[in-house]
């Protein structure tokens, strides 16, 4: 900070200013983006590791700004969460994802589950259940073909979280805990929670093939999941060495660049067309 150039102090200042300017800019652009529908969704396949079959896909929002270009979700989702814009944006993603999934089913592709990320802010909206039911009704998607991915951050209010998760289950919609192992995930939390799937965070998968500790954590998650009757998916599977370990450990599902990057809806459809007929 002190001497990063001709004038360290003003450098520091301009850096701070720049950051908040960027932030204000993005906030404003985000509002317009919702209005002008600058968003798209990419779909990343999820596979059954034992059979190699595709079982579902995660909907990942994409923002292509007309002047600024592609803006990464890790950049704009936190702003959308803080400003509350995640509410309309998240609803749009859910609706679009369900619509698209139903469309593929109607086209005759084997039925898949679409997973949609739900931020904590959305999870605690009083009309969450109404919104989900409405979207399922409007799109005609049966609830078992929808999964909501929530992060451990919702467990800050564990009793409330459990009640809402139960209501989601009552709708027939599946839930999974995203980035599992990185947050509040003391195993005691998940003991009585009505959830279906643990999604092992990519940080454990990254070095699972060469780090004893990561491998031990993954094995512990698989054991607990088996005991609690939960399914497991590993995210961020990039190389065959990681897949080999996951197969050996009996991990049920996987997702990652090794299988496919997130694809535009058109590319995802081509991917479905190219799958071997079984
Ligand atoms: P996430 O939910 O953990 O999603 C997985 C991220 O990992 C995605 O990044 C995906 O493109 C990336 N990924 C998938 N496979 C691999 C791999 O093998 N290696 C590596 N290095 N990365 C891989 P993306 O699309 O940039 O999204 C980042 C985060 O933004 C998401 O993390 C999620 O937290 C958030 N996000 C994205 N779409 C939505 C949305 O519609 N709603 C909400 N609330 N959050 C979203
Ligand atoms: Ca996710
Ligand atoms: Ca994740
Ligand atoms: Ca993440």
Adjacent-strand bridge partners of 200: 180, 234
pLDDT tens by residue, 195-214:
999 999 999 999 999 999 99
Question: Residue by residue, what is the 3-state secondary structure of 244-275?
Answer: HHHHHHCCCEEECCCCCCCEEHHHHHHHHHHC
Where residue 248 falls among pLDDT bands split at 50, 70, 90?
A: very high
Whether complex ipTM tops 0.90: yes
pLDDT tens by residue, 147-159:
999 999 998 888 9
57 lines ligand 1 (CB under 6 A): no
Q: Which of 224, 200, 215, 202 minimizes the C-alpha distance to 245?
A: 215
Q: Indicate the top mutation candidate among 41, 82, 117 to test ligand 1's pocket, ranked by most ligand atoms within 8 A of CB.
A: 117
Q: Return all residues near 189 (Cβ < 8 A) that are at least 6 apart.
A: 152, 155, 158
Q: Indicate the top mutation candidate among 71, 76, 77, 239 to test ligand 1's pocket, ranked by most ligand atoms within 8 A of CB.
A: 77
pLDDT tens by residue, 119-144:
999 999 999 999 999 999 999 999 99
Label residues 26-44 b or e (16+ Cβ within 10 Å = b): beebbeebbeeebbebbbb
* Ligand 1: residue whose CA is nearest its atom 23: 236
Count Cβ atoms within 10 A of the Cβ of residue 131 and give its class: 0-12 exposed, 13-18 middle, 19 or more buried: middle
At residue 235, φ and ψ (nearest 5 deg) are -110, 155
Which range among 59-63, 168-172, 178-182, 190-194 shows the weakest confidence by mean pLDDT? 190-194
179 lines ligand 1 (CB under 6 A): yes
Q: What is the pLDDT of residue 2?
A: 40
Q: Which of 195, 128, 203 minimizes the C-alpha distance to 155?
A: 195
CA atoms within 13 A on the CB side of 273: 7
The percent of residues above 70 in pLDDT, for the chain, comes to 91
181 lines ligand 1 (CB under 6 A): no
Q: Which of 247, 234, 278 minimizes the C-alpha distance to 46?
A: 234
Q: Which of 49, 57, 55, 19 minimizes the C-alpha distance to 268?
A: 57
pTM: 0.93
What CA–CA distances, in Å, run from 154 to 61, 123, 129, 176, 231?
A: 21, 8, 16, 12, 20
Protein residues near ligand 4, an ion, with CB under 5 A:
179
Adjacent-strand bridge partners of 56: 46, 113
Where residue 8 falls among pLDDT bands split at 50, 70, 90?
A: very low
Which helix (H) or strand (E) segment is 98 a member of? helix 86-106
């Amino acid at each position: 900070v002190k001497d990063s150039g001709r004038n360290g102090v003003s450098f520091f200042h301009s850096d701070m200013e720049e950051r908040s300017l960027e932030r204000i800019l993005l906030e404003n652009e985000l509002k317009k983006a919702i209005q002008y529908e600058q968003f798209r969704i990419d779909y990343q396949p999820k596979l059954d590791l034992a059979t190699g079959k595709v079982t579902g896909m995660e909907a990942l929002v994409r923002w292509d700004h007309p002047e600024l270009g592609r803006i990464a979700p890790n950049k704009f989702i936190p702003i959308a969460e803080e400003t509350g814009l995640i509410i309309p944006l998240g609803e749009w993603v859910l609706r679009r994802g369900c619509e698209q999934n139903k469309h593929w089913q109607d086209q005759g592709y084997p039925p898949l589950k679409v997973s949609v990320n739900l931020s904590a802010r959305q999870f605690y909206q009083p009309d969450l259940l109404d919104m989900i039911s409405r979207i399922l009704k409007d799109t005609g998607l049966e609830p078992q073909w929808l999964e909501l991915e929530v992060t451990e951050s919702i467990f800050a209010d564990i009793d409330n979280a459990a009640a809402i998760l139960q209501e989601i289950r009552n709708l027939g919609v599946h839930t999974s805990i995203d980035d599992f192992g990185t947050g509040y995930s003391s195993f005691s939390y998940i003991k009585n929670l009505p959830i279906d799937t643990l999604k092992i965070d990519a940080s454990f998968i990254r070095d699972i093939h060469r780090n004893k500790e990561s491998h031990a954590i993954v094995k512990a998650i698989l054991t607990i999941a088996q005991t609690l009757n939960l399914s497991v998916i590993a995210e961020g599977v990039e190389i065959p060495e990681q897949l080999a370990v996951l197969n050996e450990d009996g991990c049920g599902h996987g997702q990652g660049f090794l299988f496919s990057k997130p694809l535009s809806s058109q590319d995802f459809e081509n991917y479905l067309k190219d799958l071997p007929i079984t």
